[in-house]
């Protein structure tokens, strides 16, 4: 009788062990899928960061080259000369005296690289603080350019 009772308990434990093994296997598959999805998101973020760094490097290399000079126009001439070189749009300056000047060098959704007047680059995201400009409220794309909206103005 004791042997029969032990055999029943052993069979019950074997069934319970099989159930636990199935649950562990199912959890491993689910965890693997979640890790794969997180890895995909990390790859996307890394790709975006690489693009921003590449753009910043390209822009820094372009600004390191001497700029072409634009011939001065005579005051009487109001028409644009046919072979003139386009001048870059003037960057946003400080709206108050003493506020540092920054330019957006590169951007991606939710991230921007700013360059100060000394050529130093800083990476900003929403809620970061830009010295002299306050907290970053948003980073938006306008055409091919990104704009950083802060508490104290807009940096282009």
Structure tokens at 11: 């069979």
Mean pLDDT, the chain, whole residue set: 79
Looking at the chain, list the stretches that DSSP marks H as alpha helix, in order from N- to C-terminal side: 2-64
Q: Is the pLDDT of residue 78 over 50?
A: no
Q: What is the pLDDT of residue 135?
A: 95
**Kindly report the CA angle at 25 between 19 and 29, in degrees rounded to 5?**
145
CA 15 from centroid of its chain's CA atoms: 52
Is pTM beyond 0.85? Reply is no
Q: Is the pLDDT of residue 84 over 50?
A: no
| pLDDT tens profile 142-152 | 888 899 999 99
Confidence at 73, pLDDT banded by 50, 70, 90: very low
Q: Is the pLDDT of residue 58 over 90?
A: no
Confidence at 66, pLDDT banded by 50, 70, 90: low
Confidence at 94, pLDDT banded by 50, 70, 90: very low
Q: Is the pLDDT of residue 91 over 80?
A: no
| pLDDT tens profile 17-29 | 999 999 999 998 8
Structure tokens at 76: 């009487």
Interatomic CA distance for residues 104 and 89, integer angstroms: 13
Domain residue spans in the chain? 1-65, 102-155
Q: Is the pLDDT of residue 43 over 80?
A: no
How many angstroms separate the most distant Cα atoms in the chain? 118
């Amino acid at each position: 009788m004791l042997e029969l009772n032990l055999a029943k308990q052993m069979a019950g434990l074997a069934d319970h062990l099989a159930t636990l093994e199935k649950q562990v296997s199912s959890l491993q598959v689910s965890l693997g899928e979640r890790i794969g999805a997180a890895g995909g998101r990390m790859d996307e973020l890394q790709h975006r960061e690489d693009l921003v760094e590449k753009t910043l490097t390209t822009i820094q290399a372009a600004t390191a080259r001497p700029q072409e000079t634009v011939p001065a126009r005579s005051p009487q001439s109001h028409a644009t000369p046919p072979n003139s070189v386009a001048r870059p749009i003037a960057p946003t300056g400080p709206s108050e005296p003493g506020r540092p000047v920054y330019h957006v060098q590169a951007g991606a959704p939710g991230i921007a690289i700013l360059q100060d007047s000394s050529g130093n680059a800083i990476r900003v995201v929403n809620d970061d603080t830009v010295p002299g400009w306050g907290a970053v409220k948003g980073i938006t794309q306008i055409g091919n350019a990104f704009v950083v909206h802060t508490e104290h103005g807009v940096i282009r």
